[in-house]
Structure 1
Amino acid sequence: MPTPHEGSGISGRHGPVRAPQGIAGGILLIALAALALWLTRDLDQGTLNSMGPAMLPRWLAIGVGLSGLALIAFAFTREGEPLERWSLRGPFFIILAILAFAVTIRPFSFGGITIPGLGLLVAGPLAIIVGGYASPEARFRDLLILALSLTPFCMLLFGDLLNLPIPVFPQALAELFPADWSQKAVMRVTAAVLVAGAFVVFFTTRGSRKTTIDVADHSGRI
């Protein structure tokens, strides 16, 4: 008769909760969803034909909350992993990425510090690269290619297709384009340049030695 491995958290678990990590993750997702709904309470949701600024974040928060409820439900019906030691690396870089996006997407002032609005052109890649270092296997080359590919997708989705009022590029760059160009035309050209940059980085660094750029040790200490 097989015996459970020593130290196995699943075999020695008691009580109705069969996946403690699922409980913890579900509670966290529900808390994040509640926070997002509270922060967007004063924004206009609009309609499917004319989406308001609260449409996407509000329904995304609802989806996250439902996912949290599903995790909690499955924690009572399916075997899962026990709670382990918390690692600060992931939360640190994710929060840092969110803050970097928040202070660069629009003009930001704090005391004597003033940051001009850099738009999605800068804030998007910056958040993707910083957030990517939440993983110890992060490599700058891969993150750069992802940032140059995902940012133009977000530009076209939110600014072009959904017509959301999201600043796309620094105001100073507007003078580089012909005056008779529309904002959508400028956005499409900028997105095309970013995609081209992603291809250039991919093909020019394809034969380079694959090295891992690690900014924290694997124990979770920053």
Structure 2
Amino acid sequence: MSIVHEGSGPPRPRGPIRAPQSLAGGLVLLALSALALWLTRDLDQGTLNAMGPAMLPRWLAIGVGLSGLALLAFAFIKDGDPLERWSLRGPVFVIGAILAFAVTIRGYAFGPLVIPGLGLLVSGPLAILIGGFATPEARLRDLVILSLSLTPFCMVLFGDLLNLPIPVFPQALAGLFPADWSQKAVLRACAAIMAVAGLAVFLATRGRSRKPVDVTDHSGRI
């Protein structure tokens, strides 16, 4: 039988806020939701039969906002963790991934700096690789396989099934395929090539063992 001594548990926060982490997370999600709704205010939403460019980001922003409201409610009714020290690694890599995606998918020009539009074929894996290193546990092999698997899915979903006006590949690649192929045929071929490449990387590297993790210190304690 274990005896819980008074004061042995984590200290409960004083005041009406019982979960400071939930409060901070809810405020951040609400801010992101409001920013997304403001940025898509001039885009056409369309209908379920003919989706516009604002359909997915707008409803995603609404879902994020509702999640933020739920976190705010839990911050006042349920005990949670206090705020801890923040690491800059996560925000830096995540923001870097978003910026890399934004400047490469349609191209970007700022004075003499000109970045050609590379489409989702390049900007998708680039964003996944950069954003994946937001955690120190990231492994390059896993990120490569994820980028080569998730990007083809997004290409087919947004460019083929939903017919959204999203550039999916550099126009220079069109010359590598037969002239009588349609844009969707080229899209499907690029997606298939990426998916096969991801499977090849997985099969070629699955035999490699992970580096063992030492969970004990020199004193023998775990």
TM-score (norm 1): 0.91
Which residue of 2 is the match for residue 29 of structure 1? 29
Task: Identify the structure with bigger relative contact order (alpha carbons < 8 Å, sequence gap 6+).
Answer: 1
State the number of aligned residues.
210
Q: Does structure 1 residue 130 correspond to structure 2 residue 130?
A: yes
Which residue of 2 is the match for residue 68 of structure 1? 68
Q: Does structure 1 residue 104 correspond to structure 2 residue 104?
A: yes
CA RMSD in angstroms comes to 1.5
SS at 1:104 equivalent: helix
Candidates 1, 4, 20, aligned match of 1:2: 4
Deviation per CA, 1:35-89, whole angstroms, max 9, x where unpaired?
A: 0000000111111111110110000000000000001111112221100111111
Which residue of 1 is the match for residue 177 of structure 2? 177
How far did residue 12 of structure 1 move?
A: 3.2
Q: Which runs of 4+ in 1 moved over 2 A?
A: 3-8, 208-212
Residues 89-98 or 174-183, more deviating: 174-183
C-alpha contact (below 8 Å) 1:51/1:162 kept by paired residues: yes
Q: Are residues 136 and 120 of structure 1, via their aligned partners in 2, closer, same or farther at CA, if it must alter by over 3 Å?
A: same
TM-score (norm 2): 0.91
How far did residue 6 of structure 1 move?
A: 5.3
C-alpha contact (below 8 Å) 1:101/1:123 kept by paired residues: yes
Q: Does structure 1 residue 168 correspond to structure 2 residue 168?
A: yes
Identical-residue share of aligned pairs (%): 71
How far did residue 13 of structure 1 move?
A: 1.6
C-alpha contact (below 8 Å) 2:12/2:79 kept by paired residues: no
SS at 2:77 equivalent: coil
Q: Does structure 1 residue 200 correspond to structure 2 residue 183?
A: no
C-alpha contact (below 8 Å) 1:19/1:82 kept by paired residues: yes
Q: Are residues 81 and 184 of structure 1, via their aligned partners in 2, closer, same or farther at CA, if it must alter by over 3 Å?
A: same
Unaligned runs of 5+ in 1: 213-222
Distance 1:114 1:211 in 2: 42
SS at 1:76 equivalent: helix
How far did residue 210 of structure 1 move?
A: 2.9
How far did residue 7 of structure 1 move?
A: 7.8
Residues 128-137 or 77-86, more deviating: 77-86
Amino acid at match of 1:76: F
Amino acid at match of 1:181: W
Amino acid at match of 2:203: F
How far did residue 208 of structure 1 move?
A: 2.4
C-alpha contact (below 8 Å) 1:97/1:130 kept by paired residues: yes
Unaligned runs of 5+ in 2: 213-222
Q: Are residues 194 and 29 of structure 1, via their aligned partners in 2, closer, same or farther at CA, if it must alter by over 3 Å?
A: same
How far did residue 200 of structure 1 move?
A: 0.5
Deviation per CA, 1:122-142, whole angstroms, max 9, x where unpaired?
A: 000000010000011000000
C-alpha contact (below 8 Å) 1:139/1:211 kept by paired residues: no
Which residue of 2 is the match for residue 187 of structure 1? 187
State which structure, 1 or 2, has the greater radius of gyration over its C-alpha atoms: 2
C-alpha contact (below 8 Å) 1:155/1:187 kept by paired residues: yes
C-alpha contact (below 8 Å) 2:40/2:54 kept by paired residues: yes
C-alpha contact (below 8 Å) 2:106/2:167 kept by paired residues: yes
Distance 1:191 1:67 in 2: 33
Query: What pairs up with 1:136-155 in 2 under 5 angstroms?
Result: 136-155=136-155
